[in-house]
Structure 1
Amino acid sequence: MKTRIQKYFALTDQGISNTLKASIFTFLKYFSFTFPPVLVFMFLQDYLRGELKNLTVYMAILTIIVIVMYLILRKEYILTFDTTYAESVALRENIANQFKKLPLSYFSKHNLSDLSQTIMMDVNNIEIVISHALSQGIGFLYFFIFISILLILNAPLMGLAVVLPIWTAVCIMFFTGRAQTRGVRKYYRTLLENAASFQEAFEMQQEIKSYSMQNQVEGDVGKKLEDSERIHIKAEFKMAFMSFLVGLLPYLAPVFTAVVGVILFTKGEITVLYYVGYLMAATTISSQYSAINEYILMALFFEDSFKRIRDLKAEKIQDGDDKKLKSFEVELKDVSFSYGNNKVINNVSFVAKQGEVTALVGPSGCGKTTILRLISRLYDYDSGMICIGGENIKCISTESMFENISIVFQKVELFNNSILENIRIGRKDATDEEVILAAKLANVDKIVEKLPKGYHTVIGENGSKLSGGERQRISIARAFLKDSPIILLDEISASLDVENEMEIQNSINKLIKDKTVIIISHRLKSVENADQIIVMNDGAVDSKGVHKEILKTSEIYSKMIEKSELTDSYVY
């Protein structure tokens, strides 16, 4: 049972251990709640028999009961609430560590709104269930089984009158739980879709306004909100009826007990003490169940939250050992890779030697950027092998990989922080002087001169306050600062003007000495002097060699050179 509960609710080892301990003390708590009624029963029994003890005896027993109940409640509170928050922290840390180990392909297949939902709302839901429903539900279930057996063995008909309505409510709740929550799950899925639509509307404001789409987008968003409200209302009505039924049944226990008790008492089958005792038991147990009923229903409603976290934990991670690489030659051997069913890399083989520049060229969509992603292990290839320094990269941990690789992709991602801190991401322990030196190599100092706070200027979400070329220069500065033995450059000049491109190219020429450099560029003039040029076409290697060789042997390359020259000479 322990393993099933842990897996279903996506708990850590410590979390399930504390939950089961809390359940034991919850059981003891409910059991201790029977002590005061038992003491009253004893007092009445002694009174009716004329065997009343000294008042101090009853007060002493009551004092002991209060102390025992206090100790049990205090321990249960610590195990339930204090450890719950520790569990939610551990769970969020585990999710963050899981995200770090997942391949980039996972994030391309999942909506970012869903991932944010998992980190924030789903963990919060689990926190609520652990603190209010799980240990309480388990503890009450065992207590109720125990007390049901005692009550029925002692007086079968009276016992059934007490427990039957509550057991009926429990059965209805669990057997109809999925039907009750189906509408809720649909509603929450709609909310996620709405969140994605809102995010898209915010991010696409420039395009929306440029093409006068405000009314259309507003109408689409409004319709989605109305649809979600209709789903919500329908789900609430369905849940309200079942919740009413499940909530009403336990309160019938005292009524049934009173009726059955009167019948049995008039027949002389029970005493007035038994009648009062069972009536007190029915009132107490029904109240206890009603108090936790809402939270148990909540556990059923949050089923999707548990499932999302279970699915995340079940995702295949990128494993490997931490290794110190001695050389940094990159070799691809018959490498193939697919995005889903779309095969984009097909049996690619080449060697990028250390101390040399290898250029990847070819038509758009031929797989150049994908190869860089495979080499850096942002994606894992399907078949073949990629080796760095003779080591299969699938056997190397991603931490060890990224220690030795600097990447500048065409799409630059920046944080809503200062220019200084955005560059420092390249090497966290770098001093301000080292960061500024890297910035100057990438011509970032020319950007800084225009800004009021210089390097400490906050650049907005994803560098929204900067131009595309300025953002690219910050990304290049990161690579300069990291100074890794393997450098992957993807269209780094795409957003640069000619002047900046020439100056940064000179800096790169100094950076790449004794390093393995793989570069992608559509400006073929900039890669003519590369030590090796790999011509790609439809995910496969068309030809490879130096510029003069493949200009003669590769029809694709010669046509690309021809088109490049025509483009350079074109006048608008």
Structure 2
Amino acid sequence: MILALILGFITFFCAGALMFNSGYLISRAASLPENILLIYIPIVLTRAFGIGRPVFRYVERLVSHNWVLKMTSNLRVKLYDSLEQDAIFFKQNHRTGDILGLLSEDINHIQNLYLRTIFPTIIAWILYGFIIIGLGYFSPFFALAMLILLGIVVFLLPLWSVIVNGARQEQQKQMKNNLYSDLTDNVLGVSDWIFSQRGQDYVNHHETSEAKLWDVTRKIQKFQRERNLILQLIFGIITLALLLWTSQIFSGNHGGAANWIAAFVLSVFPLIDAFAPLPAAAQETNIYKDSIENLNALPAINQPIIEFPKLHYPITLAVEDVHYQYPGSSKEVLVGIDLKLAPGDKIAILGRSGSGKSTLANLIRGDLLATQGKITLNNVETHQFGDTISQYLGVIHQTPYLFHTTLANNLRIGRETAVDNELWSVLERVGLKNLVEKLPDKLETMVDEAGLRFSGGERQRLALARILLQEVPIILLDEPTVGLDPVTEQQLINTFFKELQDKTIIWITHHLQGIEAMDQVVFIEDGELAMQGTPNELNKSNEHYQKLKRIDNGNI
């Protein structure tokens, strides 16, 4: 940072010195020089300062931008880490539009804080002091006059901009953030506007918000034009004052000191670039302050555990008297859940929406910590494993995500070291080998964003292939067949249980197709275990299960 400031000062010094030296050279060359060195030395200096200005400017940009980008990169990492550790409650605690506003505005504001405000302001202050001291060597009175005139540019105009336009820019930023939030929320809920036949109402509302934003923007632009006019007038006054002063100081000396008149006057113009941006940069400080507060308000990042537990096979999963209550809620989502799965056991967990199935899945994965009771793998609580839980527990979600990269890379998410032969092997096991062989580039075929070129069933089979590469003992199937037609669903279920027959399976589902492959079935209702047993036992003795079975088969 200090190096960037020094380089910035040298850049403007070279610019001023170039014009100063050029003005002297032009005047001196018009008169008869007593010695050739009086012309030759200014020519050499002109070349030196002419080369030095762009070189120092370029190096200053490299140094300052490198430092600032590293700093803002760390801020982005902090933002992502803060939100990632809160991922389970992301939608509960944050609005998507707010996060987009933070990403698109606040971090960029921090970047601009240094590049457009702090660096230029400090460099201008250094130049200001250097100029006043230098003029004081020739005339203390004129130095005092320049102290006042340049002080208006360096201090008074920026302060005026902060007071008047800073408030408007803060208002503009808030309006933009509100537009981000409203637009995001309403795009995500566009079906509600359409179904309620209020689409035009939203368009009118959005246009009104944009009109208000544009009105504030016009006021900001008008103030900037007026301020820039005043700024140029002050520099004009400084130039005329410098011309008059040098004319008086060096009058009557046509062959010598009079050559300095053009040197002093021309040196003013490159310094305008140093002082002119200060008012515009200063008015944004209110926005920067707000952005700093937003970033500092992010939740603290929990320090990761250095050493995670390591387990020895076989692995037993135990759910012991688990209760869970979401923060801020007065109702328990899960109440006294007890389950035990020996190696190779297969259990289906059923329940209507909101019964607590997904919460139990999050607890099993270690993403949540039970408010009472515990969930353990070989007597070690699952939340203690952190990310290493993936060494023991694999998950297939409702909508497995495929990334915009090669098919091979998507499969190697299961195991990065897997070779091509292993990839073909798991593809054959999940029934996709023939499909992939027909693709133009086979394993190197690029997958569209989110894997849209594959059907729902094919994406689930690719997710299963990842799990097979992962080689974990416990598999959590989180309603993987939702949205599939009955034939595809049954085929996928058969493939799952065939390829995972030696694994411990926890199958969260909403209906009973394929349930006979399970060793145990539990039904969660209002956070409690409403029934539990083998499929045969429940089918013979439990009227509720029999009713669910009839409904699932379409016999109500």
| TM-score bracket for this pair, using the shorter chain length | 0.7 to 0.9
Report if aligned partners of 2:323, 2:373 keep a CA contact under 8 Å in 1: yes
Measured in 1, the distance between the counterparts of 2:427 and 2:328 equals 39
Report if aligned partners of 2:407, 2:443 keep a CA contact under 8 Å in 1: yes
Quick one: which amino acid aligns to residue 289 of structure 1? F
Which residue is equivalent to 1:235?
Answer: 216
**Alpha carbons of 1:194 and 1:361: their partners in 2 closer, same or farther (altered >3 Å)?**
closer
Report if aligned partners of 1:170, 1:246 keep a CA contact under 8 Å in 2: no
**Residue 122 (structure 2) pairs with residue 104 (structure 1):** no
Report if aligned partners of 1:357, 1:531 keep a CA contact under 8 Å in 2: yes
* Alpha-carbon displacement from aligned partner over 1:392-414 (angstroms, at most 9, x marks no partner): 4444342x223432111223333
Measured in 2, the distance between the counterparts of 1:467 and 1:411 equals 11
Quick one: which amino acid aligns to residue 361 of structure 1? L
Which residue is equivalent to 2:150?
Answer: 163
Aligned-pair distance for 1:298?
6.2
Measured in 2, the distance between the counterparts of 1:107 and 1:392 equals 24
Measured in 1, the distance between the counterparts of 2:51 and 2:375 equals 64
Quick one: which amino acid aligns to residue 537 of structure 1? E
Structure 1: tracts of 5 or more residues without a match = 1-18
Measured in 2, the distance between the counterparts of 1:23 and 1:106 equals 43
Say which of 337, 343, 346 aligns to 1:357: 346
Measured in 1, the distance between the counterparts of 2:115 and 2:242 equals 38
Report if aligned partners of 1:92, 1:119 keep a CA contact under 8 Å in 2: no
Measured in 2, the distance between the counterparts of 1:548 and 1:230 equals 67
Say which of 307, 325, 344 aligns to 2:310: 325
Measured in 2, the distance between the counterparts of 1:545 and 1:373 equals 23
Which residue is equivalent to 1:24?
Answer: 6
**Alpha carbons of 1:456 and 1:325: their partners in 2 closer, same or farther (altered >3 Å)?**
same
Which residue is equivalent to 2:275?
Answer: 289
**Alpha carbons of 1:248 and 1:238: their partners in 2 closer, same or farther (altered >3 Å)?**
same
Aligned-pair distance for 1:46?
11
Q: Counterpart of 2:480 in 1: which secondary structure?
A: coil
Q: Give the TM-score of the pair, scaled to structure 1.
A: 0.73
Structure 2: tracts of 5 or more residues without a match = 252-257
Quick one: which amino acid aligns to residue 507 of structure 2? I
Kindly report the root-mean-square deviation, in angstroms, between the aligned alpha carbons of the 2 structures.
Answer: 5.0
Measured in 1, the distance between the counterparts of 2:525 and 2:351 equals 6
Which residue is equivalent to 1:15?
Answer: none
**Alpha carbons of 1:321 and 1:530: their partners in 2 closer, same or farther (altered >3 Å)?**
farther
Measured in 1, the distance between the counterparts of 2:250 and 2:276 equals 29
Aligned-pair distance for 1:457?
6.8
Say which of 553, 561, 571 aligns to 2:545: 561
Say which of 344, 361, 373 aligns to 1:372: 361
Measured in 2, the distance between the counterparts of 1:44 and 1:68 equals 16
Measured in 2, the distance between the counterparts of 1:265 and 1:190 equals 56
Which residue is equivalent to 1:181?
Answer: 169
**Alpha carbons of 1:284 and 1:453: their partners in 2 closer, same or farther (altered >3 Å)?**
closer
Quick one: which amino acid aligns to residue 169 of structure 2? T
**Alpha carbons of 1:476 and 1:192: their partners in 2 closer, same or farther (altered >3 Å)?**
same
Measured in 1, the distance between the counterparts of 2:236 and 2:14 equals 24
**Alpha carbons of 1:392 and 1:137: their partners in 2 closer, same or farther (altered >3 Å)?**
farther
**Residue 43 (structure 2) pairs with residue 56 (structure 1):** no
**Alpha carbons of 1:375 and 1:175: their partners in 2 closer, same or farther (altered >3 Å)?**
farther
Aligned-pair distance for 1:372?
1.4
Measured in 2, the distance between the counterparts of 1:452 and 1:258 equals 71
Measured in 2, the distance between the counterparts of 1:422 and 1:568 equals 35
* Alpha-carbon displacement from aligned partner over 1:50-81 (angstroms, at most 9, x marks no partner): 9x974514642663475367447524522423
**Alpha carbons of 1:127 and 1:58: their partners in 2 closer, same or farther (altered >3 Å)?**
farther
How much identity, in percent, do the aligned residues show?
19
Aligned-pair distance for 1:366?
1.4
Aligned-pair distance for 1:386?
4.3
Report if aligned partners of 1:415, 1:461 keep a CA contact under 8 Å in 2: yes
> How do 1:55-454 residues align onto structure 2 when only pairs under 5 Å count?
56-57=37-38, 59-60=40-41, 63-64=44-45, 67=48, 70-71=51-52, 74-81=55-62, 84=65, 88=69, 91-92=72-73, 95=76, 99=80, 101-105=84-88, 107-108=90-91, 109-110=93-94, 130-131=114-115, 133-148=117-132, 154-155=140-141, 157-166=144-153, 167-176=155-164, 178-193=166-181, 196=184, 200=188, 217=199, 219=200, 222-223=203-204, 225-254=206-235, 256-257=237-238, 285-291=271-277, 294=280, 314=299, 316-317=301-302, 319-323=304-308, 325-327=310-312, 328-332=315-319, 334-338=322-326, 341=329, 345-346=333-334, 348-350=336-338, 352-355=340-343, 356-379=345-368, 385-398=374-387, 400-415=388-403, 422-444=410-432
Q: Counterpart of 2:333 in 1: which secondary structure?
A: strand
* Alpha-carbon displacement from aligned partner over 1:197-221 (angstroms, at most 9, x marks no partner): 68548xx7xx69xx9769854x356
Moved more, 344-353 or 254-263: 254-263
Q: Counterpart of 1:412 in 2: which secondary structure?
A: coil
Q: Counterpart of 1:325 in 2: which secondary structure?
A: coil
**Alpha carbons of 1:563 and 1:58: their partners in 2 closer, same or farther (altered >3 Å)?**
farther
**Residue 501 (structure 2) pairs with residue 520 (structure 1):** no
Measured in 2, the distance between the counterparts of 1:458 and 1:43 equals 64
Quick one: which amino acid aligns to residue 290 of structure 1? A
Which residue is equivalent to 1:11?
Answer: none
Measured in 2, the distance between the counterparts of 1:61 and 1:276 equals 14
